Protein backbone atom coordinates (compact mmCIF):
# COMPACT_ATOMS: atom_id res chain seq x y z
CA UNK A 1 0.00 0.00 0.00
CA UNK A 2 2.84 2.38 0.83
CA UNK A 3 4.33 2.12 -2.66
CA UNK A 4 0.96 2.80 -4.32
CA UNK A 5 0.42 5.83 -2.09
CA UNK A 6 3.90 7.25 -2.78
CA UNK A 7 3.68 6.58 -6.53
CA UNK A 8 0.21 8.15 -6.76
CA UNK A 9 1.29 11.27 -4.89
CA UNK A 10 4.45 11.52 -7.00
CA UNK A 11 2.40 11.13 -10.19
CA UNK A 12 0.07 13.95 -9.17
CA UNK A 13 3.01 16.21 -8.23
CA UNK A 14 4.69 15.40 -11.55
CA UNK A 15 1.54 16.22 -13.55
CA UNK A 16 1.04 19.49 -11.66
CA UNK A 17 4.68 20.51 -12.19
CA UNK A 18 4.43 19.57 -15.85
CA UNK A 19 1.25 21.65 -16.26
CA UNK A 20 2.84 24.67 -14.55
CA UNK A 21 6.00 24.30 -16.64
CA UNK A 22 4.16 24.04 -19.94
CA UNK A 23 1.73 26.75 -18.83
CA UNK A 24 4.51 29.23 -18.07
CA UNK A 25 6.14 28.49 -21.41
CA UNK A 26 2.82 28.94 -23.22
CA UNK A 27 2.40 32.29 -21.47
CA UNK A 28 5.84 33.44 -22.65
CA UNK A 29 5.16 32.27 -26.19
CA UNK A 30 1.84 34.15 -26.09
CA UNK A 31 3.73 37.36 -25.30
CA UNK A 32 6.07 36.69 -28.21
CA UNK A 33 3.14 36.11 -30.57
CA UNK A 34 1.45 39.33 -29.44
CA UNK A 35 4.68 41.20 -30.13
CA UNK A 36 4.79 39.83 -33.68
CA UNK A 37 1.15 40.69 -34.26
CA UNK A 38 1.70 44.27 -33.08
CA UNK A 39 4.33 44.93 -35.74
CA UNK A 40 3.10 46.84 -38.74
CA UNK A 41 4.01 45.36 -42.11
CA UNK A 42 2.88 48.38 -44.14
CA UNK A 43 5.57 50.64 -42.70
CA UNK A 44 8.40 48.63 -44.32
CA UNK A 45 7.50 49.27 -47.97
CA UNK A 46 10.41 50.98 -49.70
CA UNK A 47 12.69 50.25 -46.77
CA UNK A 48 15.37 47.70 -45.96
CA UNK A 49 14.50 45.29 -43.17
CA UNK A 50 16.96 43.15 -41.25
CA UNK A 51 16.08 40.58 -38.60
CA UNK A 52 18.15 39.07 -35.85
CA UNK A 53 17.26 36.60 -33.13
CA UNK A 54 19.12 35.95 -29.93
CA UNK A 55 18.51 33.39 -27.20
CA UNK A 56 20.24 33.90 -23.86
CA UNK A 57 20.17 31.64 -20.84
CA UNK A 58 20.56 33.51 -17.57
CA UNK A 59 19.54 33.46 -13.93
CA UNK A 60 16.06 34.76 -14.74
CA UNK A 61 15.42 32.13 -17.40
CA UNK A 62 15.66 31.78 -21.14
CA UNK A 63 15.41 35.16 -22.87
CA UNK A 64 14.34 35.29 -26.49
CA UNK A 65 15.03 38.57 -28.29
CA UNK A 66 13.81 39.31 -31.77
CA UNK A 67 15.19 42.52 -33.28
CA UNK A 68 13.84 44.09 -36.45
CA UNK A 69 15.77 47.00 -37.93
CA UNK A 70 14.01 49.06 -40.58
CA UNK A 71 16.23 51.39 -42.62
CA UNK A 72 14.66 54.06 -44.81
CA UNK A 73 16.39 53.87 -48.20
CA UNK A 74 15.96 57.60 -48.86
CA UNK A 75 17.06 59.10 -45.54
CA UNK A 76 19.26 56.31 -44.21
CA UNK A 77 17.51 56.56 -40.84
CA UNK A 78 17.25 53.25 -38.95
CA UNK A 79 14.59 52.30 -36.43
CA UNK A 80 14.90 49.22 -34.23
CA UNK A 81 11.96 47.24 -32.88
CA UNK A 82 12.79 44.70 -30.17
CA UNK A 83 10.55 41.96 -28.81
CA UNK A 84 11.99 40.40 -25.67
CA UNK A 85 10.40 37.51 -23.80
CA UNK A 86 11.77 35.56 -20.83
CA UNK A 87 10.72 31.97 -20.19
CA UNK A 88 10.98 31.27 -16.48
CA UNK A 89 13.43 28.42 -15.93
CA UNK A 90 12.35 27.69 -12.33
CA UNK A 91 9.43 25.40 -13.29
CA UNK A 92 11.71 23.46 -15.65
CA UNK A 93 14.33 23.13 -12.91
CA UNK A 94 11.76 21.98 -10.34
CA UNK A 95 10.34 19.45 -12.79
CA UNK A 96 13.82 18.06 -13.46
CA UNK A 97 14.81 18.00 -9.77
CA UNK A 98 11.60 16.18 -8.86
CA UNK A 99 11.59 13.68 -11.73
CA UNK A 100 15.11 12.29 -11.26
CA UNK A 101 14.71 11.16 -7.60
CA UNK A 102 11.23 9.82 -8.37
CA UNK A 103 12.60 7.74 -11.26
CA UNK A 104 15.38 6.41 -9.02
CA UNK A 105 12.89 5.54 -6.26
CA UNK A 106 10.59 3.80 -8.74
CA UNK A 107 13.49 1.83 -10.19
CA UNK A 108 14.79 0.75 -6.77
CA UNK A 109 11.36 -0.33 -5.50
CA UNK A 110 10.28 -2.07 -8.73
CA UNK A 111 9.28 -5.71 -8.92
CA UNK A 112 12.59 -7.50 -9.60
CA UNK A 113 10.89 -10.20 -11.67
CA UNK A 114 9.89 -7.60 -14.26
CA UNK A 115 12.39 -6.66 -16.97
CA UNK A 116 13.54 -3.07 -17.31
CA UNK A 117 11.67 -2.65 -20.61
CA UNK A 118 8.38 -3.65 -18.98
CA UNK A 119 9.14 -1.46 -15.94
CA UNK A 120 9.90 1.58 -18.11
CA UNK A 121 6.54 1.37 -19.90
CA UNK A 122 4.34 0.30 -17.00
CA UNK A 123 2.47 2.66 -14.70
CA UNK A 124 4.20 2.47 -11.33
CA UNK A 125 0.97 2.87 -9.33
CA UNK A 126 -0.14 -0.66 -10.20
CA UNK A 127 0.82 -3.08 -7.47
CA UNK A 128 -0.53 -6.59 -7.90
CA UNK A 129 1.31 -9.11 -5.74
CA UNK A 130 -1.73 -11.28 -4.93
CA UNK A 131 -5.35 -11.86 -5.99
CA UNK A 132 -6.67 -9.32 -3.50
CA UNK A 133 -4.47 -6.56 -4.91
CA UNK A 134 -5.50 -7.53 -8.44
CA UNK A 135 -9.15 -7.01 -7.44
CA UNK A 136 -8.31 -3.75 -5.65
CA UNK A 137 -6.52 -2.51 -8.79
CA UNK A 138 -9.55 -3.46 -10.90
CA UNK A 139 -11.90 -1.54 -8.60
CA UNK A 140 -9.63 1.51 -8.50
CA UNK A 141 -9.20 1.47 -12.27
CA UNK A 142 -12.97 1.20 -12.75
CA UNK A 143 -13.55 4.19 -10.44
CA UNK A 144 -10.88 6.17 -12.26
CA UNK A 145 -12.52 5.38 -15.60
CA UNK A 146 -15.91 6.50 -14.28
CA UNK A 147 -14.36 9.77 -13.10
CA UNK A 148 -13.12 10.39 -16.64
CA UNK A 149 -16.67 9.94 -17.93
CA UNK A 150 -17.84 12.73 -15.62
CA UNK A 151 -14.74 14.90 -15.93
CA UNK A 152 -14.40 15.16 -19.71
CA UNK A 153 -17.88 16.62 -20.35
CA UNK A 154 -17.33 19.04 -17.47
CA UNK A 155 -13.99 20.15 -18.91
CA UNK A 156 -15.53 20.57 -22.35
CA UNK A 157 -18.09 22.92 -20.83
CA UNK A 158 -15.33 24.80 -18.99
CA UNK A 159 -13.39 25.15 -22.25
CA UNK A 160 -16.19 27.39 -23.55
CA UNK A 161 -14.95 30.08 -21.16
CA UNK A 162 -11.48 30.17 -22.74
CA UNK A 163 -12.18 33.28 -24.88
CA UNK A 164 -13.09 35.17 -21.70
CA UNK A 165 -10.05 33.95 -19.77
CA UNK A 166 -7.54 34.09 -22.64
CA UNK A 167 -6.23 37.56 -21.79
CA UNK A 168 -5.01 36.82 -18.28
CA UNK A 169 -4.60 33.01 -18.39
CA UNK A 170 -3.41 31.91 -21.84
CA UNK A 171 -2.40 28.49 -20.48
CA UNK A 172 -6.00 27.67 -19.45
CA UNK A 173 -6.28 24.75 -21.95
CA UNK A 174 -3.05 23.28 -20.57
CA UNK A 175 -4.51 23.22 -17.06
CA UNK A 176 -7.77 21.71 -18.32
CA UNK A 177 -5.84 19.01 -20.14
CA UNK A 178 -3.65 18.33 -17.10
CA UNK A 179 -6.72 17.93 -14.91
CA UNK A 180 -7.86 15.06 -17.15
CA UNK A 181 -4.94 13.02 -15.83
CA UNK A 182 -4.55 14.52 -12.34
CA UNK A 183 -8.12 13.90 -11.16
CA UNK A 184 -8.37 10.25 -12.35
CA UNK A 185 -4.96 9.56 -10.79
CA UNK A 186 -6.19 10.97 -7.47
CA UNK A 187 -9.41 8.93 -7.75
CA UNK A 188 -7.38 5.79 -8.47
CA UNK A 189 -5.12 6.35 -5.45
CA UNK A 190 -7.97 7.17 -3.07
CA UNK A 191 -10.06 4.15 -4.14
CA UNK A 192 -7.03 1.84 -4.03
CA UNK A 193 -6.19 2.87 -0.45
CA UNK A 194 -9.85 2.74 0.62
CA UNK A 195 -10.29 -0.78 -0.81
CA UNK A 196 -6.98 -1.96 0.65
CA UNK A 197 -8.02 -0.91 4.17
CA UNK A 198 -11.30 -2.87 4.02
Q: What are the distances in angstroms from CA 14 to CA 18, 59, 102, 115, 144?
A: 6, 24, 9, 24, 18
Segment 166-197, tens digit of pLDDT: 888 888 999 999 999 999 999 999 999 999 88
Does residue 40 belong to any structural domain of this protein? no
Does residue 190 belong to any structural domain of this protein? yes
Does residue 54 belong to any structural domain of this protein? no
Does residue 46 belong to any structural domain of this protein? no
Boundaries of domain holding 154: 2-35+88-196
How many angstroms from the chain centroid is the CA of residue 124?
A: 20
State how many domains the chain has: 1
Q: What are the DSSP E strand ranges found in the chain?
A: 47-58, 61-72, 78-87
Which 8-state DSSP code applies to residue 174? H
Does residue 78 belong to any structural domain of this protein? no
Does residue 62 belong to any structural domain of this protein? no
pTM of the model: 0.77
Which stretches of the chain drop beneath a pLDDT of 50?
none
pLDDT at 39: 65
Amino acid sequence: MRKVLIETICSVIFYVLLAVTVGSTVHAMQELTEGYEARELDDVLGKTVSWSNEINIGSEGITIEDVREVTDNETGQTEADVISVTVNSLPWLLLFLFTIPWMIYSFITRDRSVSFNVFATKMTEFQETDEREVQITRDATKASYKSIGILVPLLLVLSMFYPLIYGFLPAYPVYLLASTIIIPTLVYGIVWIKEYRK
